[in-house]
């Protein structure tokens, strides 16, 4: 399994020759990381572990006791906050506005990468290109916030490279190309429905999907639904073991989430997350968290929004909401 992950990481980004030395150093670090990480309305939860816990009548943390902490955060940051966290060992959960809709923004990229891995797993085994399929695109396809794909217009990128660019740097063009591979936003929505998520609405491409206009249900989801879908990919059986480990590695080594959930969990915990930024002050993070003591992981989704179109996004709100959720779970 380690060799498979290392090969995928080493080929993830087709760096041109002028960057080879810098890329080699980055690849060495990533290979080391790969080795370490590899060893509004009530909605039904996603299939897999989340659904199993719900059907088993798993105990739910007293949301009423934690709600004041979340309400105080909303007042302090002048924002709307949605939180859903579940301890996969005990089934205990914390929910606050967990079934209200928020613009998911770039958090969807974790689900898109998972869906592409799911689609191409069998292709690689059968002698096809699998995740090494090269996707070509033109200069006209480049949209804002595309720091990786803008450098490879002449050569194209592998699906593995597009996933890495999407999850490490939140590259918007890479995300759009992954959606194209799935048949557009509707294609990803169909995959999520297969996994039991009939809540998430996938409608547009980047950057339009991150508009976040209040009251617009396009490109929205709920904290509960996002947590359930992420759980299916990273902890459930939506992916085979090696693909699940690769997705986890990409998410653990991303460059965009350091001030969000990662800043709010106890020292020593391992975090695989995907951040997102929406209009109207939206700042989000979805994550799976592994405690330092080796206990069962926690799945967490924190979604936020504000009323004004150009409102400041507050990373500290997400970090402190994560701290409150983990504390409420007794972890």
DSSP-derived 3-state class of residue 237: coil
* Gyration radius of the chain's alpha carbons: 19
DSSP-derived 3-state class of residue 195: coil
pLDDT in tens, 161-189: 999 999 999 999 999 999 999 999 999 99
Let me know if residue 24 belongs to a domain: no
Listed residue (329, 243, 316, 238) closest to 289, CA to CA:
329
- Among 181, 189, 201, 206, which one carries the catalytic annotation? 206
How far apart are alpha carbons 284 and 170 in whole angstroms? 13
Q: What confidence score (pLDDT) does residue 124 get?
A: 63
Q: What confidence score (pLDDT) does residue 127 get?
A: 60
DSSP-derived 3-state class of residue 96: strand
pLDDT level of residue 110 (50, 70, 90 thresholds): very high
How far apart are alpha carbons 239 and 114 in whole angstroms? 7
| % of the chain with per-residue pLDDT over 90 | 76
Let me know if residue 32 belongs to a domain: no
pLDDT higher than threshold 50 for residue 14: no
Q: What confidence score (pLDDT) does residue 125 get?
A: 66
pLDDT in tens, 258-315: 999 999 999 999 999 999 999 999 999 999 999 999 999 999 999 999 999 999 999 9
Give the number of other Cβ atoms within 10 Å of residue 320's Cβ. 21
- Among 6, 8, 106, 170, which one carries the catalytic annotation? 106
Between 25 and 195, the higher pLDDT residue:
195
pLDDT level of residue 231 (50, 70, 90 thresholds): very high
Let me know if residue 35 belongs to a domain: no
pLDDT higher than threshold 50 for residue 48: no
Q: Are 204 and 185 in contact (CB under 8 A)?
A: yes
pLDDT level of residue 121 (50, 70, 90 thresholds): confident
How far apart are alpha carbons 259 and 272 in whole angstroms? 13
Let me know if residue 34 belongs to a domain: no
How far apart are alpha carbons 16 and 38 in whole angstroms? 28
Let me know if residue 28 belongs to a domain: no
Mean pLDDT calculated for residue range 52-57:
36
How far apart are alpha carbons 69 and 82 in whole angstroms? 12
How far apart are alpha carbons 106 and 103 in whole angstroms? 9
Annotation marks residue 76 as catalytic: no
pLDDT higher than threshold 70 for residue 31: no
Let me know if residue 30 belongs to a domain: no
Task: Provide the residue range defining the domain that includes 108.
Answer: 2-14+44-328
Task: CATH number of the domain at 220, please.
Answer: 3.40.710.10
Q: Which residues contact 140 (CB under 8 A, 6 or more apart)?
A: none
Q: What confidence score (pLDDT) does residue 56 get?
A: 33
CA distances 131 to 112, 121, 128, Å, are: 13, 8, 9
Annotation marks residue 189 as catalytic: no
Conformational region of residue 290, where left means phi above 0, alpha means psi within -120 to 50, and beta covers everything else = beta
Let me know if residue 20 belongs to a domain: no
Split into its structural domains, the chain has a count of: 1
């Amino acid at each position: 399994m380690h060799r498979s992950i290392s090969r995928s990481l080493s080929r993830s980004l087709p760096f041109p020759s002028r960057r080879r030395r810098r890329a080699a150093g980055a690849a060495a670090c990533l290979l080391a990381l790969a080795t370490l990480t590899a060893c509004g309305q009530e909605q039904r939860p996603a299939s897999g572990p989340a659904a199993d816990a719900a059907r088993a009548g798993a105990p739910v943390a007293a949301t009423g006791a934690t709600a004041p902490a979340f309400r105080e955060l909303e007042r302090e940051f002048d924002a709307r906050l949605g939180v859903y966290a579940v301890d996969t060992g005990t089934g205990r959960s914390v929910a606050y506005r967990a079934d209200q809709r928020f613009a998911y923004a770039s958090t969807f990229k974790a689900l898109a990468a998972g869906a592409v891995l799911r689609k191409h797993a069998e292709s690689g085994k059968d002698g096809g290109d699998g995740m090494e399929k090269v996707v070509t695109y033109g200069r006209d396809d480049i949209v804002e916030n595309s720091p990786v794909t803008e450098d490879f217009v002449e050569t194209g990128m592998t699906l593995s490279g597009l996933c890495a660019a999407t999850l490490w740097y939140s590259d918007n063009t890479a995300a759009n190309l992954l959606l194209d591979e799935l048949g557009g936003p509707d294609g990803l929505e169909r995959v999520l429905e297969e996994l039991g998520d009939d809540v998430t609405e996938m409608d547009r491409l980047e950057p339009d999907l991150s508009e976040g206009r209040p009251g617009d249900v396009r490109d929205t989801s709920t904290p509960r639904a996002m947590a359930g879908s992420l759980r299916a990919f990273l902890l459930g059986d939506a992916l085979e073991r090696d693909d699940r480990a690769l997705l986890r590695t990409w998410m653990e080594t991303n460059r965009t989430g350091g001030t969000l959930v990662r800043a709010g969990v106890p020292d020593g915990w391992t975090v695989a997350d995907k951040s997102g930024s929406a209009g109207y002050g939206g700042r989000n993070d979805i994550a799976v968290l592994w405690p330092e003591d080796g206990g069962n992981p926690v799945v967490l989704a924190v979604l936020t929004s504000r009323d004004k179109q150009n409102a400041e996004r507050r990373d500290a709100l997400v970090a402190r909401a994560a701290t409150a959720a983990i504390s409420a779970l007794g972890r």
